[in-house]
Structure 1
Amino acid sequence: MRVVAKFGGTSLGSGDRVNRAADSIAAAVEAGHEIAVVVSAMGSTTDSLLDGIQFDVAEGDKAEIVSMGERTSARMVKAALSARGVDAAFVEPGGEHWPVITDSHGEVDVEETTRRAQALADRMGEVVPVLTGFLAEDHAGSVTTLGRGGSDTTAVMLGNYMGAEEVVIVTDVEGVMTGDPRVVEGARNVGEISVDELRNLSFRGAEVIAPSALNYKEPELGVRVVHYQHGDLLQGGTSIEGTFETLIDLQETPLSCLTVAGRAIRNRPGILATLSGALGDVGINIDAAASGLDSITFYLYTEDATEAETVLHERVIDEDALSSVTVDGEFAALRISGGELPTQSGVVQGMIETLSDEHVTAHDVITSATSVAVLVDWDDRERALSIVQDTF
């Protein structure tokens, strides 16, 4: 099996951890697998290098300086593998076999990178390449970088272009956990998680794998996250399933908007749970929700609106923090999710402006880390769908 194994900074943060990494790589090679290794800078090396720049510096010089962390890690891991009798070679920008090339815009040159990655893959039966993560090289031969989470991006991108069966991200967490084990008791490993679930967690603080890296995940490429203490690259941890797709979905059932207002609503702990729980108790599903400083809005099926208004009115009467409930119209929810949406700037603005230009009113916009929902008049739904499809 062909595997790309990426070792993060914490998993290479000491001599003992470098030895652990080398042992796991050597064991996989001994078992007959083809292994390519991607390394981050050891520990907090990159931060230390950046802190040392106390002067104006050109981007090219800055990239050369910060590249020293990954270059050092590559040499350390290569040497540790050689000490174990593994034929290894460090691969870095400027070298004959370096694969990751960027164009004049700083974007990955897919065609050239693929060609070079495949050429490097052809050598994996003879040698274990140890590549510097995060770094790239432009067509002029200058060092560039892949941005935040660049080492993860290097690994998944190369796994894709090198025809690997799996990319293994070795880090300081035992895969994806049900909660932060430093905060909650009983946190356990999640055996499988979808790319969309993980990206939602990643954009909201989970430091497992850079969301940008998963843009390179193809259906046939496995991606797994394991703890550096695990010692086995080929099993354990959390498997990341699926691929990103840009999906445009039009709600098939009309929605009504129920808004509960109250000047003291922001200072009433648990009020959202009280209102949504009351709807749940009578079997009414909430399609979407939004909150403001003095109101909470629920979107639910229009056929449930009358009953929902009655239920919420009872809570308004019982709660001093609430003043009134109102119901409005029939709306359609138009949602865009997945794909490269979270990394594209101006998506919400683009949707609203495009609809406005065609005289379609957006009554509400509800966003998450990975999706945007626009509420439009029910009668405008088909036209709005066509406009958004043409745009995205």
Structure 2
Amino acid sequence: MRVVAKFGGTSLGSGDRINRAADSVAAAVEDGHQIAVVASAMGSTTDDLLDEITFDTDERDQAQIVSMGERTSVRMLKAALSARGVDARFLEPGGEDWPVITDEYGEVDVEETRRRALEVADTLDDAVPVITGFLAEGPDGSITTLGRGGSDTTAVMLGKYMDADEVVIVTDVEGVMTGDPNVVEGARNVGEISVDELRNLSFRGAEVVAPSALSYKEGDLTVRVVHYQHGDLLSGGTSIEGEFQNLVDLREQPLACITVAGRAIRNQPGVFQSLSAALGESEINIDAVASGLDTVTFYVDVDEAERAENILHREVVARDELSSVTVDEPLAVVRVTGGELPNQPGIISDIVNPIADARINLHDIITSATSVALFVDWDDGEDTLEITQDLF
């Protein structure tokens, strides 16, 4: 089996942990597997170096300085592997066999990186490559970086381009947990999680695998997260399933927009819960929810509109803080799903402006970590879909 193993800063944070990492790699090699290693800077080295740059410097000099953390790690890990009788070599930007190349805009040069990654893969029977994570080489030979979480990105990207069977992210957590074990009781490891689920969690604070890395995951590439104390690269942890796809789609059935108004609903504990619970108890599916200070809007199947209106009306009558319920139908929803959409400055205006230029009224727009939902009149749904597809 061909495996790319990425060791995070914590898993290389001391000599003992480097020894543990080397033991796990050596065991996998002894079992006959092809192993490539991606190494982060030891511990908090990168942050420490950045903190010490208290003088004016350009991006090129800064990249050179922060690269020293990864450069040190690969030398340490290569030496530890050699001490165990494992043939190993370290790879860093500037070397003739370095794989990760960026273009003049700082984006990964896919064609060149894939070609070089396959060349590295061809040598896996001869030696274990220990590759600096986070770093890349520009077209002029300069050192560039892949941004926050760049070592994860290096690992999954190389796993994809090297035709690996699996990428193993070795870190300081037991895989993906049901909750933060430092905050909630009884948190346990999740054996499997989808790419979509993890990307949404990652954009909202879960520091397990960098979202940028998961964009490189394809369906036939296994990605697994294990704790550095586990000691076995080939089992345990959390398996990340599926692949993330850029998608623009129009919901096939129309929606009804049901809005409940009241006085400062947002500041009234229990109001939203009672409204949504009433719909749920009647087995009415809620497609989406939007809220303001004085309103809560539920989007449900248009066939359920009348029943949902009556259910919510009963809640309005029962609660003094609520005043009225109204229905608007039929509406179409076009959803754009594409990784870091809401995290790209200006992306919402890039989507909305062409729709406005076409004189299409947007009833609502709802964003999540990885998607944008556009609500328009049902008759405008196909035109909105076509405009949005042209953008992506």
Normalised TM-score (structure 2): 0.97
Partner in structure 2 of residue 207 of structure 1: 207
Question: Across the two proteins, how many residue pairs are aligned to each other?
Answer: 392
Is structure 2 residue 277 aligned with structure 1 residue 261? no
1:150 is matched with which residue? Answer: 150
Worse-superposed segment, 302-311 or 132-141 = 302-311
In the alignment, the residues of structure 2 paired with residue 264 and residue 245 of structure 1 have an alpha-carbon distance, to the nearest angstrom, of 39
Deviates more, 1:168-177 or 1:304-313: 304-313
**Which piece of structure 1 moves more, 9-18 or 309-318?**
309-318
Q: How far is 1:11 from its partner?
A: 0.8
> What are the equivalent positions in structure 2 for 1:268-347 lying under 5 Å apart?
268-338=268-338, 341=341, 344-347=344-347
How far the C-alpha of 1:127 sits from its partner, in A, is 0.8
Q: In structure 1, give the amino acid aligned to 2:176.
A: V
- State the SS of the aligned residue for 2:163: coil
Q: Which amino acid aligns with 1:247?
A: L
- Matching of residue 241 in structure 1 with residue 265 in structure 2: no
Helix, strand or coil for the counterpart of 2:322? coil
Do structure 1's residue 188 and structure 2's residue 223 form an aligned pair?
no
Question: What is the CA–CA distance in structure 2 between the aligned matches of 1:327 and 1:220, rounded to whole Å?
Answer: 45
* 1:18-52 alpha-carbon deviations (Å, 9 max, x no partner): 11101100100111111111010111111110010
| Conserved 8 A contact 2:342-2:368 | no
Distance (whole Å) between structure 1 residues aligned to residue 204 and residue 94 of structure 2: 36
SS in 1 for 2:219: coil
C-alpha contact (below 8 Å) 2:340/2:369 kept by paired residues: no
Residue in 2 that maps onto 1:23? 23
Any stretches of 5+ residues in structure 2 without a counterpart?
Answer: none
CA distance in 2, matches of 1:368, 1:148: 21
Q: Tell me the amino acid that sits aligned with residue 119 of structure 1.
A: E
User: Secondary structure at the residue paired with 2:373?
Assistant: strand
Letter in 2 for 1:386: E
Mapped to 2, the partners of 1:125 and 1:254 lie a distance apart of 57
Q: 2: distance between equivalents of 1:81 and 1:107? A: 32
- Counterpart residue type for residue 31 of structure 2: A
Q: Distance in 1 between matches of 2:150 and 2:385?
A: 35
Give, as a single letter, the amino acid of the residue that structure 2 aligns with 1:62. Answer: Q
CA distance in 2, matches of 1:140, 1:253: 53
The secondary structure found in structure 2 opposite 1:176 is coil
Matches within 5 A, 1:41-80: 41-80=41-80
**Sequence identity (%):** 71
In the alignment, structure 1 residue 220 sits paired with structure 2 residue 209: no
Cα shift readout 1:226-277 (whole Å, capped 9, x = no counterpart): 1101100011111111112122221222211111112231221121111000
For residue 128 of structure 1, what is the aligned residue in structure 2?
A: 128
**8 Å CA contact retained: 1:265, 1:295:** yes
In structure 2, what is the Cα distance between the partners aligned to 1:136 and 1:89? 18
CA distance in structure 1 between the aligned counterparts of 2:380 and 2:94, rounded to whole angstroms: 56
Tell me the alpha carbon deviations over residues 202-228 of structure 1, each in whole angstroms, 9 at most, x when there is no partner: 001111101111111122221111110
CA distance in structure 2 between the partners assigned to 1:280 and 1:330 by the alignment: 21
- More off after superposition, 180-189 vs 203-212: 180-189
- Can you list the C-alpha shifts for 1:93-138, whole angstroms capped at 9, x where unaligned? 1122111111111111112212211111111111111111000111
CA shift for structure 1 position 343 = 5.7
Give a deviation string over 1:305-353, Cα, whole Å, max 9, x none: 2222222122122222222222223111111114564564433222211
Deviation at 1:378, TM superposition (A): 1.0
Query: Does the Cα contact within 8 Å between 2:227 and 2:237 map onto a contact in 1?
Result: yes
In the alignment, structure 1 segments of 5+ residues that lack a partner are none
1:113 is the counterpart of 2:113: yes
Question: How far, CA to CA, are the matches of 1:125 and 1:103 in structure 2?
Answer: 30
Contact 1:246 1:340 in 2 (8 A): no
Residue 33 of structure 1 corresponds to 33
For the 8 Å contact 1:42–1:69, the answer to whether it is kept is yes
| Counterpart AA for 2:308 | A
Conserved 8 A contact 1:99-1:117: yes
Give, in whole Å, the separation in 2 of the partners of 1:266 and 1:251.
29
SS in 2 for 1:332: strand
SS of equivalent to 2:333: strand
- SS of the equivalent of 1:283 reads coil
Contact 2:4 2:35 in 1 (8 A): yes
Distance in structure 1 (CA, Å) of the matches to 2:19 and 2:387: 56
Q: Is the 8 A contact 2:339 2:371 kept in 1?
A: no
State the alpha-carbon separation in 1 of the partners of residues 321 and 16 from structure 2. 58
Whole-angstrom distance in 2 between the partners of 1:382 and 1:215: 28
What is the CA RMSD across the aligned residues, in angstroms? 1.4
Alpha-carbon shift at residue 362 of structure 1 (Å): 0.9
Counterpart residue type for residue 109 of structure 2? D
Superposed CA offset, 1:162-216 (max 9, x none): 1211110000111111111112222221111111111011001111101111111
Equivalent in the alignment of 2:175:
175
Shift of 1:375: 0.6
CA distance in 1 between counterparts of 2:341 and 2:293 reads: 28
Q: Distance in 1 between matches of 2:24 and 2:299?
A: 52
2:232 equivalent to 1:229: no
Return the alpha-carbon distance in structure 1 between the equivalents of residues 243 and 283 of structure 2.
Answer: 33
**TM-score scaled by length of structure 1:** 0.97
Distance 1:190 1:107 in 2: 33
